[in-house]
Amino acid sequence: MNTFSTFQSDVTETKLSKEDDKPVFLVLSAHDYRSPRKANIHFITSELAKRGRTRFFSLRYSHLSKYTSDPRLSLDYAANQIGLYQGVECYLWKTRIHPFNTRRRWLRPLETLMYNWYSQGYNPVLRSWIQEATVILLESGVAPVFFDLIKALNPVAKILYRASDALETINVAEYINKTFARIAGEINTIALPSKALAETIPSKHNLAFVPHGIDHSVAAQADPSPYGDGIHAVSVGSMLFDPDFFVHAAKRFPDITFHIIGSGQSSHPDYGNNVKIYGEMPFAKTLCYIKHAHLGIAPYSSDNMPAYLRDTSMKLIQYDFFEVPAICPFFIAADYPNRFGYHIGDGDSIARAINRALHPSQPLVAQRVLSWSEVTERMLTPQLFRDTEMSL
Protein backbone atom coordinates (compact mmCIF):
# COMPACT_ATOMS: atom_id res chain seq x y z
CA MET A 1 0.00 0.00 0.00
CA ASN A 2 1.30 3.46 -0.89
CA THR A 3 2.09 5.57 2.14
CA PHE A 4 3.04 9.17 2.62
CA SER A 5 5.06 10.04 5.69
CA THR A 6 6.10 13.44 6.93
CA PHE A 7 9.59 14.01 8.19
CA GLN A 8 11.21 16.91 9.95
CA SER A 9 12.51 19.40 7.42
CA ASP A 10 15.76 19.77 9.30
CA VAL A 11 18.30 18.84 6.65
CA THR A 12 20.45 17.12 9.24
CA GLU A 13 17.84 14.34 9.26
CA THR A 14 18.59 13.65 5.59
CA LYS A 15 22.39 13.39 5.77
CA LEU A 16 23.72 10.24 4.23
CA SER A 17 25.79 7.63 5.99
CA LYS A 18 29.38 7.77 4.82
CA GLU A 19 29.32 3.99 4.64
CA ASP A 20 26.57 4.00 2.00
CA ASP A 21 28.35 3.56 -1.33
CA LYS A 22 25.23 3.36 -3.50
CA PRO A 23 24.60 6.26 -5.90
CA VAL A 24 22.39 9.09 -4.72
CA PHE A 25 20.00 10.38 -7.38
CA LEU A 26 18.30 13.76 -7.39
CA VAL A 27 15.53 14.62 -9.86
CA LEU A 28 14.63 18.27 -10.45
CA SER A 29 11.31 18.69 -12.21
CA ALA A 30 8.12 20.76 -12.31
CA HIS A 31 6.23 17.49 -11.78
CA ASP A 32 5.78 15.88 -8.37
CA TYR A 33 6.52 12.18 -8.00
CA ARG A 34 3.37 11.70 -5.92
CA SER A 35 0.97 13.12 -8.54
CA PRO A 36 -1.63 10.65 -9.85
CA ARG A 37 -1.02 11.65 -13.48
CA LYS A 38 2.22 10.04 -14.62
CA ALA A 39 4.79 11.32 -17.11
CA ASN A 40 8.00 9.68 -18.27
CA ILE A 41 9.96 11.30 -15.43
CA HIS A 42 7.89 9.36 -12.87
CA PHE A 43 8.74 5.98 -14.36
CA ILE A 44 12.41 6.88 -14.71
CA THR A 45 12.46 7.96 -11.07
CA SER A 46 10.96 4.62 -10.02
CA GLU A 47 13.81 2.86 -11.80
CA LEU A 48 16.42 5.11 -10.19
CA ALA A 49 15.01 4.17 -6.78
CA LYS A 50 15.90 0.54 -7.52
CA ARG A 51 19.51 1.55 -8.08
CA GLY A 52 20.18 3.89 -5.18
CA ARG A 53 18.80 6.51 -2.82
CA THR A 54 16.51 8.76 -4.83
CA ARG A 55 15.10 12.21 -4.15
CA PHE A 56 12.52 14.12 -6.21
CA PHE A 57 12.48 17.89 -5.78
CA SER A 58 9.43 19.58 -7.30
CA LEU A 59 9.93 23.09 -8.68
CA ARG A 60 7.96 26.11 -9.83
CA TYR A 61 5.10 25.92 -7.35
CA SER A 62 3.73 28.83 -5.35
CA HIS A 63 0.58 30.64 -4.28
CA LEU A 64 0.19 31.56 -7.95
CA SER A 65 -0.29 27.89 -8.86
CA LYS A 66 -3.91 27.86 -7.72
CA TYR A 67 -4.71 30.19 -10.61
CA THR A 68 -3.16 27.87 -13.21
CA SER A 69 -4.96 24.62 -12.28
CA ASP A 70 -1.60 23.09 -11.36
CA PRO A 71 -2.06 19.30 -10.99
CA ARG A 72 0.00 19.44 -7.78
CA LEU A 73 -2.64 21.43 -5.91
CA SER A 74 -3.89 18.21 -4.36
CA LEU A 75 -0.47 17.90 -2.71
CA ASP A 76 -0.43 21.43 -1.30
CA TYR A 77 -0.83 20.07 2.25
CA ALA A 78 2.56 18.39 1.85
CA ALA A 79 4.45 21.43 0.56
CA ASN A 80 7.78 22.42 2.12
CA GLN A 81 8.32 19.20 4.01
CA ILE A 82 10.14 16.01 3.17
CA GLY A 83 7.92 13.05 2.46
CA LEU A 84 8.49 9.44 1.48
CA TYR A 85 6.45 7.93 -1.35
CA GLN A 86 7.10 4.49 -2.83
CA GLY A 87 10.70 4.59 -1.64
CA VAL A 88 11.45 8.07 -3.04
CA GLU A 89 12.06 11.11 -0.84
CA CYS A 90 9.88 13.93 -2.14
CA TYR A 91 9.79 17.67 -1.62
CA LEU A 92 7.32 20.15 -3.11
CA TRP A 93 8.96 23.57 -2.87
CA LYS A 94 6.26 26.18 -2.42
CA THR A 95 7.30 29.83 -2.55
CA ARG A 96 5.22 33.00 -2.33
CA ILE A 97 5.54 33.43 -6.07
CA HIS A 98 7.45 31.54 -8.73
CA PRO A 99 9.06 32.94 -11.88
CA PHE A 100 7.12 32.65 -15.12
CA ASN A 101 7.14 33.77 -18.72
CA THR A 102 5.43 37.17 -18.72
CA ARG A 103 5.14 37.03 -22.55
CA ARG A 104 5.75 40.78 -22.60
CA ARG A 105 9.06 42.19 -23.74
CA TRP A 106 8.78 45.25 -21.54
CA LEU A 107 8.53 42.99 -18.46
CA ARG A 108 11.69 41.04 -19.32
CA PRO A 109 13.84 42.86 -16.72
CA LEU A 110 11.38 41.85 -13.98
CA GLU A 111 11.23 38.32 -15.38
CA THR A 112 15.02 38.09 -15.29
CA LEU A 113 15.10 39.33 -11.69
CA MET A 114 12.62 36.64 -10.66
CA TYR A 115 14.62 33.87 -12.32
CA ASN A 116 17.91 35.20 -10.93
CA TRP A 117 16.43 35.04 -7.44
CA TYR A 118 14.87 31.59 -7.95
CA SER A 119 18.03 30.06 -9.40
CA GLN A 120 19.92 30.84 -6.19
CA GLY A 121 17.96 27.99 -4.59
CA TYR A 122 17.20 29.58 -1.25
CA ASN A 123 15.96 26.31 0.22
CA PRO A 124 18.02 24.26 2.69
CA VAL A 125 16.65 20.92 1.50
CA LEU A 126 17.44 21.69 -2.14
CA ARG A 127 20.98 22.72 -1.27
CA SER A 128 21.56 19.71 0.96
CA TRP A 129 20.21 17.28 -1.64
CA ILE A 130 22.37 18.84 -4.35
CA GLN A 131 25.47 18.48 -2.17
CA GLU A 132 24.74 14.83 -1.42
CA ALA A 133 23.82 13.71 -4.94
CA THR A 134 26.08 11.71 -7.19
CA VAL A 135 23.76 11.97 -10.21
CA ILE A 136 21.39 14.89 -10.83
CA LEU A 137 18.66 14.61 -13.45
CA LEU A 138 17.25 17.86 -14.83
CA GLU A 139 13.97 17.69 -16.71
CA SER A 140 13.27 20.18 -19.49
CA GLY A 141 11.56 23.28 -18.16
CA VAL A 142 12.78 25.36 -15.24
CA ALA A 143 15.31 22.84 -13.85
CA PRO A 144 18.31 23.99 -15.98
CA VAL A 145 18.42 27.34 -14.17
CA PHE A 146 19.96 25.49 -11.19
CA PHE A 147 22.98 24.31 -13.19
CA ASP A 148 25.29 27.00 -11.81
CA LEU A 149 24.15 26.30 -8.25
CA ILE A 150 24.84 22.59 -8.76
CA LYS A 151 28.33 23.30 -10.06
CA ALA A 152 29.04 25.58 -7.09
CA LEU A 153 27.76 23.15 -4.45
CA ASN A 154 28.73 19.83 -6.01
CA PRO A 155 31.11 20.18 -8.98
CA VAL A 156 31.71 16.41 -9.25
CA ALA A 157 28.05 15.40 -9.59
CA LYS A 158 27.10 13.85 -12.92
CA ILE A 159 24.41 15.96 -14.57
CA LEU A 160 21.85 14.48 -16.96
CA TYR A 161 19.15 16.31 -18.89
CA ARG A 162 15.93 14.66 -20.02
CA ALA A 163 14.48 16.62 -22.94
CA SER A 164 10.86 15.64 -22.34
CA ASP A 165 9.87 18.61 -24.52
CA ALA A 166 11.54 21.25 -26.65
CA LEU A 167 11.82 24.46 -24.64
CA GLU A 168 10.18 26.42 -27.44
CA THR A 169 7.19 24.08 -27.42
CA ILE A 170 6.50 24.54 -23.72
CA ASN A 171 7.02 28.30 -24.10
CA VAL A 172 9.62 28.81 -21.39
CA ALA A 173 10.91 32.23 -20.48
CA GLU A 174 13.80 33.78 -22.39
CA TYR A 175 15.95 33.42 -19.25
CA ILE A 176 15.64 29.62 -19.40
CA ASN A 177 16.39 29.53 -23.12
CA LYS A 178 19.51 31.63 -22.68
CA THR A 179 20.65 29.59 -19.68
CA PHE A 180 20.23 26.30 -21.49
CA ALA A 181 22.07 27.59 -24.56
CA ARG A 182 24.98 28.55 -22.31
CA ILE A 183 25.20 25.33 -20.28
CA ALA A 184 24.11 22.63 -22.75
CA GLY A 185 27.65 21.74 -23.76
CA GLU A 186 28.68 21.18 -20.12
CA ILE A 187 25.94 18.66 -19.31
CA ASN A 188 27.22 15.08 -19.20
CA THR A 189 24.35 13.56 -21.19
CA ILE A 190 21.32 15.09 -22.91
CA ALA A 191 18.83 12.26 -23.41
CA LEU A 192 16.41 12.78 -26.31
CA PRO A 193 13.21 10.69 -26.54
CA SER A 194 12.99 11.61 -30.24
CA LYS A 195 15.78 12.21 -32.73
CA ALA A 196 13.70 15.12 -34.06
CA LEU A 197 14.58 17.01 -30.86
CA ALA A 198 18.27 17.20 -31.82
CA GLU A 199 17.70 20.34 -33.89
CA THR A 200 16.46 22.14 -30.75
CA ILE A 201 19.62 21.40 -28.72
CA PRO A 202 22.56 23.85 -28.95
CA SER A 203 25.18 21.13 -28.33
CA LYS A 204 25.75 17.92 -30.30
CA HIS A 205 28.61 15.98 -28.69
CA ASN A 206 26.63 14.88 -25.61
CA LEU A 207 23.34 13.80 -27.19
CA ALA A 208 21.89 10.31 -26.71
CA PHE A 209 18.75 8.89 -28.25
CA VAL A 210 16.72 7.34 -25.43
CA PRO A 211 13.03 6.90 -26.33
CA HIS A 212 10.21 6.68 -23.83
CA GLY A 213 9.42 3.23 -22.47
CA ILE A 214 6.71 1.25 -20.79
CA ASP A 215 6.54 -1.16 -17.89
CA HIS A 216 6.20 -4.48 -19.70
CA SER A 217 4.52 -6.05 -16.68
CA VAL A 218 1.44 -3.89 -17.31
CA ALA A 219 0.22 -6.43 -19.86
CA ALA A 220 -0.56 -8.82 -17.01
CA GLN A 221 -2.05 -6.04 -14.87
CA ALA A 222 -4.52 -4.82 -17.49
CA ASP A 223 -7.26 -7.40 -16.96
CA PRO A 224 -10.13 -7.95 -16.93
CA SER A 225 -11.80 -5.96 -19.69
CA PRO A 226 -13.95 -3.09 -18.38
CA TYR A 227 -16.10 -3.22 -21.50
CA GLY A 228 -19.29 -4.99 -22.38
CA ASP A 229 -20.24 -6.31 -25.79
CA GLY A 230 -19.65 -4.35 -28.96
CA ILE A 231 -16.81 -2.22 -30.33
CA HIS A 232 -14.99 0.13 -27.96
CA ALA A 233 -12.63 3.04 -28.63
CA VAL A 234 -10.66 4.87 -25.95
CA SER A 235 -8.96 8.25 -25.60
CA VAL A 236 -6.66 8.94 -22.64
CA GLY A 237 -5.26 12.34 -21.66
CA SER A 238 -5.93 16.04 -22.15
CA MET A 239 -3.12 17.38 -24.33
CA LEU A 240 -4.59 19.46 -27.19
CA PHE A 241 -7.83 17.51 -26.81
CA ASP A 242 -10.28 17.97 -29.70
CA PRO A 243 -13.90 17.27 -28.66
CA ASP A 244 -15.12 17.76 -32.24
CA PHE A 245 -13.49 14.46 -33.20
CA PHE A 246 -16.05 12.63 -31.07
CA VAL A 247 -18.94 14.72 -32.35
CA HIS A 248 -18.11 13.52 -35.89
CA ALA A 249 -17.14 9.97 -34.96
CA ALA A 250 -20.04 9.19 -32.63
CA LYS A 251 -22.63 10.26 -35.20
CA ARG A 252 -21.08 8.18 -37.98
CA PHE A 253 -20.46 5.10 -35.81
CA PRO A 254 -23.41 4.66 -33.42
CA ASP A 255 -22.34 1.03 -32.93
CA ILE A 256 -18.99 2.10 -31.39
CA THR A 257 -18.79 3.21 -27.76
CA PHE A 258 -16.22 5.98 -27.29
CA HIS A 259 -14.59 6.22 -23.85
CA ILE A 260 -12.92 9.57 -23.03
CA ILE A 261 -10.65 9.41 -19.97
CA GLY A 262 -9.10 12.46 -18.30
CA SER A 263 -9.69 14.99 -21.08
CA GLY A 264 -10.21 17.80 -18.59
CA GLN A 265 -13.45 18.70 -20.35
CA SER A 266 -17.06 17.99 -19.53
CA SER A 267 -19.47 16.34 -21.94
CA HIS A 268 -20.01 18.18 -25.22
CA PRO A 269 -23.68 19.00 -25.97
CA ASP A 270 -23.37 17.31 -29.37
CA TYR A 271 -21.99 14.03 -28.03
CA GLY A 272 -24.23 11.05 -28.58
CA ASN A 273 -25.24 8.47 -26.01
CA ASN A 274 -22.34 6.31 -27.22
CA VAL A 275 -19.75 8.71 -25.75
CA LYS A 276 -18.75 7.99 -22.15
CA ILE A 277 -16.86 10.59 -20.09
CA TYR A 278 -14.48 9.72 -17.23
CA GLY A 279 -12.50 12.09 -15.01
CA GLU A 280 -8.86 11.80 -14.00
CA MET A 281 -7.99 8.15 -13.50
CA PRO A 282 -4.90 6.56 -11.90
CA PHE A 283 -2.49 5.32 -14.56
CA ALA A 284 -2.84 1.67 -13.54
CA LYS A 285 -6.61 1.82 -13.92
CA THR A 286 -6.39 3.15 -17.49
CA LEU A 287 -4.44 0.09 -18.65
CA CYS A 288 -7.40 -2.26 -18.97
CA TYR A 289 -9.27 0.38 -20.97
CA ILE A 290 -6.36 0.56 -23.42
CA LYS A 291 -5.51 -3.14 -23.64
CA HIS A 292 -9.08 -4.24 -24.38
CA ALA A 293 -10.05 -1.40 -26.71
CA HIS A 294 -10.58 -2.04 -30.41
CA LEU A 295 -9.33 1.47 -31.23
CA GLY A 296 -7.07 3.99 -29.52
CA ILE A 297 -7.79 7.66 -30.20
CA ALA A 298 -5.25 10.50 -30.07
CA PRO A 299 -7.55 13.43 -30.93
CA TYR A 300 -5.05 16.28 -31.20
CA SER A 301 -6.68 19.59 -32.08
CA SER A 302 -3.88 21.04 -34.20
CA ASP A 303 -1.36 20.11 -36.87
CA ASN A 304 0.84 22.94 -35.65
CA MET A 305 2.81 20.66 -33.37
CA PRO A 306 6.45 19.63 -33.18
CA ALA A 307 7.45 16.54 -35.14
CA TYR A 308 8.92 14.93 -32.02
CA LEU A 309 5.42 14.42 -30.61
CA ARG A 310 5.06 11.51 -33.04
CA ASP A 311 7.67 9.66 -31.01
CA THR A 312 6.98 10.91 -27.48
CA SER A 313 3.21 10.73 -27.05
CA MET A 314 2.72 8.38 -24.10
CA LYS A 315 -0.78 7.41 -25.20
CA LEU A 316 0.48 6.40 -28.64
CA ILE A 317 3.32 4.40 -27.10
CA GLN A 318 0.77 2.57 -24.95
CA TYR A 319 -1.45 1.87 -27.97
CA ASP A 320 1.59 0.48 -29.81
CA PHE A 321 2.55 -1.72 -26.88
CA PHE A 322 -0.90 -3.27 -26.64
CA GLU A 323 -1.14 -3.49 -30.46
CA VAL A 324 -4.24 -1.33 -30.55
CA PRO A 325 -4.70 0.56 -33.85
CA ALA A 326 -4.37 4.30 -33.28
CA ILE A 327 -6.51 7.02 -34.86
CA CYS A 328 -4.73 10.39 -35.00
CA PRO A 329 -4.20 13.36 -37.33
CA PHE A 330 -2.13 12.65 -40.45
CA PHE A 331 0.74 14.77 -39.12
CA ILE A 332 1.10 12.49 -36.10
CA ALA A 333 0.32 9.26 -37.94
CA ALA A 334 3.27 9.89 -40.29
CA ASP A 335 4.63 6.54 -41.52
CA TYR A 336 3.91 4.54 -38.36
CA PRO A 337 2.34 1.26 -39.53
CA ASN A 338 -0.22 0.99 -36.71
CA ARG A 339 -1.56 4.55 -37.02
CA PHE A 340 -4.45 5.68 -39.20
CA GLY A 341 -4.54 9.36 -40.05
CA TYR A 342 -7.32 11.84 -40.67
CA HIS A 343 -7.74 15.54 -41.43
CA ILE A 344 -8.72 17.50 -38.32
CA GLY A 345 -12.34 18.66 -38.42
CA ASP A 346 -13.21 16.56 -41.49
CA GLY A 347 -15.91 14.08 -40.53
CA ASP A 348 -15.58 12.05 -43.71
CA SER A 349 -11.81 11.77 -43.23
CA ILE A 350 -12.33 10.68 -39.62
CA ALA A 351 -14.79 8.02 -40.79
CA ARG A 352 -12.32 6.69 -43.35
CA ALA A 353 -9.57 6.47 -40.70
CA ILE A 354 -11.81 4.52 -38.34
CA ASN A 355 -12.87 2.13 -41.10
CA ARG A 356 -9.25 1.55 -42.13
CA ALA A 357 -8.32 0.84 -38.50
CA LEU A 358 -11.20 -1.60 -38.03
CA HIS A 359 -10.41 -3.37 -41.31
CA PRO A 360 -6.66 -2.95 -41.91
CA SER A 361 -5.26 -4.12 -45.24
CA GLN A 362 -2.51 -5.99 -43.40
CA PRO A 363 -1.94 -7.19 -39.82
CA LEU A 364 -0.67 -4.70 -37.26
CA VAL A 365 3.09 -4.67 -36.79
CA ALA A 366 4.26 -5.38 -33.24
CA GLN A 367 6.37 -2.41 -32.12
CA ARG A 368 9.47 -2.75 -29.99
CA VAL A 369 9.02 -0.60 -26.87
CA LEU A 370 11.81 -0.34 -24.29
CA SER A 371 11.11 -1.12 -20.67
CA TRP A 372 11.68 1.74 -18.23
CA SER A 373 14.64 -0.20 -16.87
CA GLU A 374 16.19 -0.19 -20.36
CA VAL A 375 15.42 3.52 -20.73
CA THR A 376 17.08 4.34 -17.41
CA GLU A 377 20.20 2.29 -18.14
CA ARG A 378 20.60 4.10 -21.47
CA MET A 379 20.32 7.46 -19.76
CA LEU A 380 22.90 6.58 -17.09
CA THR A 381 25.39 4.85 -19.43
CA PRO A 382 24.54 5.69 -23.07
CA GLN A 383 28.02 4.71 -24.22
CA LEU A 384 27.19 1.04 -23.55
CA PHE A 385 24.31 0.94 -26.07
CA ARG A 386 24.62 1.23 -29.84
CA ASP A 387 21.01 2.32 -30.25
CA THR A 388 21.62 5.56 -28.32
CA GLU A 389 23.95 6.92 -30.99
CA MET A 390 22.86 10.00 -32.93
CA SER A 391 23.91 10.39 -36.57
CA LEU A 392 24.10 14.16 -36.99
**CA 23 – CA 88 distance, rounded (Å):** 14
For 246-274, give the DSSP string: HHHHHHH-TTEEEEEES-S----TT--TT
Instruction: Identify whether 165 is a catalytic site residue.
Output: yes
Are 351 and 248 in contact by the 8 Å Cβ rule? The answer is: yes
CB 246 within 8 A of CB 276: no
Query: Active-site residue among 32, 165, 311, 320?
Result: 165
Give the distance, in angstroms, between the CA of residue 270 and the centroid of all CA atoms in the same chain: 31
Cβ atoms < 10 Å from Cβ of 335: 6
Q: Where are the alpha helices (DSSP H) in the chain?
A: 40-51, 108-118, 124-132, 147-153, 174-183, 218-221, 244-252, 283-291, 309-312, 314-321, 330-333, 347-358, 372-380
DSSP 300: B
- Would you name the residues annotated as active-site residues? 165
